[in-house]
Amino acid sequence: RAEKDLDGNPLKVTFQAVVDNLATIANHKMGEAAESKPFAIIRDSGAKLTDRKISPNEMAISPDQCVYVRGLTNPMNK
């Protein structure tokens, strides 16, 4: 995809983001009260299991690239 975010950076989807999104929807569908179910089955997600080793560099982004950390920065301190 050639789309860009609000800062003009190319949009990317990480493997971790896909898994986080699947876990989020599974948690929502399982419920959290008396009607809750103990597990969720996810079918046809497109995710593929692999034995590929993931390096620590793939698990995090730098604070200046993180939209959450940037949102906590006080612009008056610059």
Question: Given pLDDT bands bounded at 50, 70 and 90, which one contains residue 16?
Answer: low
Residues 46, 52, 56, 62, Cα dihedral to 10° = -40
Q: Are 11 and 5 in contact (CB under 8 A)?
A: yes
In tens, the pLDDT along 26-74 reads 999 898 888 888 889 989 988 888 898 878 777 777 777 777 777 776 6
pTM, whole model, 2 decimals? 0.46
Q: How far apart are CA 9 and CA 20, in angstroms?
A: 22
Q: How far apart are CA 65 and CA 53, in angstroms?
A: 24
- Tokens 């620590």 identify what position? 56
Which DSSP letter does residue 11 get? P
